[in-house]
Amino acid sequence: MWIDVPPFLPFFLGAGLVALAPRGWARNALLLGIPVLGGLNLIGIQSGPHLEVEVFSYTLTPYGVGTFSLLFGYLFHIAAFIGNLFALHLKREDDDTLQQSMALVYAGSALGAVFAGDFITLFIFWELLAVSSVFLIWARKTDRSVRAGFRYLVIHVLSGVLLLAGALIRVHETGSIEFGFVGLEGLGGWLIFLSFGIKAAFPLLHNWLTDAYPEGTPTGTVFLSAFTTKVAVFALAVGFPGTELLIYVGAAMTAFPIFYAVIENDLRRVLGYSMINQIGFMVVGIGIGTALSLNGAVAHAFNDVLFKGLLFMGMGAVLHQTGRMNGSDLGGLYKSMPFTAALTTVGAASISAFPLFSGFVSKSMVMAALLEEGYLAVWPVLLFASAGVFHHAGIKIPFFAFFAHDSGIRTKEPPKNMLLAMTLAAVLCVGIGTFPQFLYALLPFETHYWPYDVTHVLTQTQLLFFGALAFVGLQKTGIYPPELPSVNIDAEWSYRWLAPRALRLLGAAVDYMDRTFRSLALVLIRMLQLVTPRVYGSRGMARQWPTGNMVIWVTVMLAVYLLIFFL
């Protein structure tokens, strides 16, 4: 009889075993075997609570299967397997142990979150996601990665605090701790919405992603791209389906990253902006809230993990072999890394939604749902965003890394495990794009949608054709922004500039108030000493009350004054 264990448990136990296992076949078997066995554990499980615990008259559900849980459960096991395979070559003493163990804890935390049936369990795994994943950034051991990791951790802990505060308010309002539909009713709902929005990289809350992901290790960033934001998409799908505000938030997410991605030189940062763009499509689908749009949102999340992971693996392989990541420093690598170039191009075609590639069969569902529900003003924004992602991820990434001017770099293909992981992701991208019915069978709602009708195929083919034509024209005329060493200012500049100055101003204000209060207290003490009756001792010598008594009287007088003033 198959034992039904919580999906996160094998990953947490496996992380400890990996830390203790010697390098070699034993550790590799653990890294690849854990997601395989965990995935088999999900086969055939039924919806509903699987584990319940009574705590202080509340029922916690650390393991429950909801509407969207199973799809994300399968996805995270696939992502963990591909990520572990991509990282098998790590050999540097403690670095490989730390990264591989924390990657398993990170994947297990993501699984714990998507199978959580209550807010307390969700909060615990929400914070574990932040704590475990930051080590994949710090493991690179550069000044930039250390600083980016601390900023990443602070922002994600803040997200957890907001989640806990919103959950407690909601429990007080409703009496239930169950994690289900929340909506934007009351302060608790808005705090939870903001918490989910931080992890989903909403506009103005997104810079933790573009700041931290490019600073992760070549292997660690592959894991980072798979779990955190997709857990946020899952949480939004459970808590806020049909929330119209999400349509406009998602539309903004699809559009604004395009402008930054086009001018960005760091190609992994380009992929960071591209990730926000793709999450925007998912957020729009959740905001529409119909069966078709929700299916499209979670299907696109599934596909995004694969093709974005493939692109991050391609750039990770380039970074591993060359030590460089700026487009201005690369080019001509197809000569010495032809397999990596071909596999990265598959990822570029998938994210660009070419027919017969995975992005096409999920993104078109969201676009179709948008038209069905009459959001005609939003549809052109998403159409523009689709053309934009073709420019910055479909063309720019492979072009400037592999096919642009010859940088003179001559290297070799990355280790075989890297190529094998990329090949597996590429096969899945093409397989899902060619036979989408297998993915559609896993979706939470029954669907009769079929992407390969004449309208969808012609529309997307025309969009891609004119997008490619525009890229060539802009290149030939010199209008397209060149790849130059530069630093681009994003929304984070506002709080990076404002926060230190605000803290200094606050400190100065507190210091001024402290000095003012001390001066006032000394004046009042002196006045009391002058008017206080003298007390005569046994020898007839006069003395005043001790200063300590004066301080007590001053404090009492100030307290009475404040009470009278405010009441």
Encode pLDDT of 51-65 as tens digits: 888 887 788 899 999
Report CA dihedral (159, 162, 167, 173) to the nearest 10 degrees.
-150
Average pLDDT, integer, range 97-103: 90
CB neighbours of residue 447 within 10 Å: 17
**What pLDDT band is residue 272 in, cutting at 50, 70 and 90?**
very high
Phi, psi of 55 (to 5 degrees): -135, 115
User: DSSP strand E in 175-310: where?
Assistant: none
**pLDDT score recorded for residue 65:** 93
Distances (CA, A) of 553 to 98, 513, 522, 526: 59, 20, 12, 12
Residue 220 has pLDDT above 50, yes or no: yes
Does the pLDDT of residue 483 top 70, yes or no?
no
User: In this model, does residue 250 exceed pLDDT 50?
Assistant: yes
Q: Which residue has the higher pLDDT, 553 or 212?
A: 212
Q: How many residues does the chain have?
A: 567
CB 444 within 8 A of CB 298: yes
SS3 190: helix
Do 114 and 96 meet the contact criterion of CB atoms below 8 Å apart? no
pLDDT value of position 138: 94
Euclidean distance between CA atoms 456 and 145, whole angstroms: 43
CA–CA separation, 42 vs 541, rounded Å? 90
Tokens standing for residue 516: 């003012």
The span from the CA of 561 to the CA of 567, in Å, is 10
Phi, psi of 415, deg, nearest 5: -55, 155
Q: Write out the DSSP string of 326-392.
A: BGGG---GGGT-HHHHHHHHHHHHHHTT-TTSHHHHHHHHHHHHHHHTT-TTTHHHHHHHHHHHIII
Span of 367-381, 419-433, 459-473, 548-562 with lowest mean pLDDT? 548-562
CA 334 to chain centre: 31
Instruction: Tell me the C-alpha distance between 544 and 533, whole Å.
Output: 7
Pairing of the two strands 58-65 and 48-55: antiparallel
Gap between the Cα atoms of 118 and 156, Å rounded: 20
User: How far apart are the C-alpha atoms of 432 and 451, rounded to whole Å?
Assistant: 12
Structure tokens at 549: 């008594």
Coil/strand/helix, residue 49: strand
Tracing tokens 């403690």 back to the chain, one arrives at 94
For range 97-117, the mean pLDDT: 94
Can you tell me whether residue 64 is helix, strand or coil? Answer: strand
Average pLDDT on 15-22 reads 90
Alpha helices in 478-491 (DSSP H): none
Residue 71 is predicted with a pLDDT of 95
Least confident piece of the model among 148-162, 236-250, 550-564: 550-564
pLDDT at site 184: 93
Q: Each residue of 523-557: pLDDT tens digit?
A: 766 666 665 555 444 454 444 545 555 556 566 66
Average pLDDT over residues 356-365: 94
Q: Say if residues 117 and 108 touch (Cβ distance below 8 Å).
A: no
Say whether 353 sits in a helix, a strand or coil: coil
The region that residue 47 occupies, defined by phi over 0 for left and psi between -120 and 50 for alpha, beta otherwise, is beta
Report the pLDDT value the prediction gives residue 542, as an integer from 0 to 100: 47
Q: pLDDT over 70 for what percent of the chain?
A: 89
Read off the pLDDT of residues 27-51 as tens digits, 9 standing for 90 and up.
999 999 999 999 999 988 888 888 8
**pLDDT: which is higher, 493 or 153:** 153
Angle between helices 379-389 and 245-263 (to 10 degrees): 30
Residue 563, pLDDT score: 57
Look up residue 471 and give its two tokens. 């890229």
**What is the mean pLDDT of the segment spanning 307-312?**
96
Structural domain boundaries of the chain? 1-239, 241-487, 495-566
Distance separating alpha carbons of residues 494 and 497, to the nearest angstrom: 5
Q: In the beta sheet, which residues pair with residue 48?
A: 65
Residue with tokens 């930051």: 134
pLDDT in tens, 83-96: 999 999 887 655 67
